[in-house]
Amino acid sequence: MAAMTLDPCLSLEMCRDSNERGAVAAEIEGLIRVYKDGHVDRPQIVPCVSSALAPELGVTSGDIVIDKFTNIWARVYVPNCHNNSKIPLLVYFHGGGFCVGSAAWSCYHEFLARLANRAGCIIMSVNYRLAPENPLPAAYEDGFKSLIWLKHQAQSGAMNWWSRQCNFSNIFLAGDSAGANIAHNVATRIGSISELELATLKPLNLKGTILIQPFFGGEARTCSEKYMVQPAQSSLTLAASDTYWRLALPCGTNRDHPWCNPVAKGSKHLAESRLLPTMVCISETDILRDRNLEFCAALDRAGNKKVEQVVYKGVGHAFQVCDAAAIDDMALEFMEGWDRKKTKKIGHFNSTSPGDGVGMT
């Protein structure tokens, strides 16, 4: 999530509504307020925008419906410079603690349009259902349903404005924050099904996951959660993290549930899955830094020899949707992953020195 400024008019409107609705059960100021009667307010402090893009960006964008019954849709970005050549597809899930955010948020619209252009890939940004109205695993189900929808598109052979350039045998799952958590859990689900069930996804071929500051948690605090000094523009605090998890997890569970804490003691979440090659992008001053580092180490212990961590120095959570220059660095990382055959062990890299990339094939 990007750094945001709350419109005071929205604040007044929320106060009036609070008096009318009664007691508040949970709140993250300026983002979400949940009342005890179940009503949910989400102030539009980040504008939702249409799919239109400035011509100079060199990208065509449009919205597509995935499931009209559950209102799952996606915004697709296709770079214009590749003519009729087949290029990779990045299935992307936005952040927002599972509770806020949209594929139409202006910060994501600009970030993903520029990323599609720089990385030379098609991006399908999925707008999934939000908690607390739709607690987990709803977002994971929507992510998996998006892949099933893609499979049908590939099988149909339809040559529409975006699929004619899509290489359905070169697909990556990606996302930031809660979206990275979704990408990981969708990949884990795919890695746990039988070979026979896996065949039902053909002709799709998933090559790997790209996880940007994945949103994980746990009952015990990490050092970065307890002591990290947050940048002024940070979009994720420890209190907000706790609230998001309380709203998103199923009733009766805690933050050591494997959806929240995949490395919790006794969890077989990673060990029992066929693991895809994985790149984890970590922010040095993010409260999630230590969780992300632990996750990379757990992937390595679980036998995923194609795992790489990339540490971006001096930046906080969700910096990439605030800083246009960061998109170039991330695009370089992703491009080196499309076709590289080399397996890369875990390592630390500066954002201005991307390293060798991760083998995703």
Backbone angles phi, psi at 38, to 5 degrees: 95, -10
Q: Please enumerate, as own/partner, the contacts of 221-228 that have beta carbons within 8 Å and a separation of 24 or more.
A: 222/290, 222/291, 222/294, 223/290, 224/286, 224/287, 224/288, 224/289, 224/290, 224/291, 225/287, 225/288, 225/290, 225/291, 228/285, 228/286, 228/287, 228/289
> Considering 177, 224, 235, 273, which one is annotated as catalytic?
177
Of 126, 20, 26, residue with least CA distance to 77: 126
Angle at 208 between CA 207 and CA 213, to 5 degrees: 160
Angle at 75 between CA 150 and CA 126, to 5 degrees: 60
Q: What is the DSSP string of 153-172?
A: HHHHT---TTGGGEEEEEEE
Backbone angles phi, psi at 5, to 5 degrees: -115, 125
Of 293, 299, 302, 311, residue with least CA distance to 348: 311
Residue 235 a catalytic site member: no
Residues involved in catalysis: 177
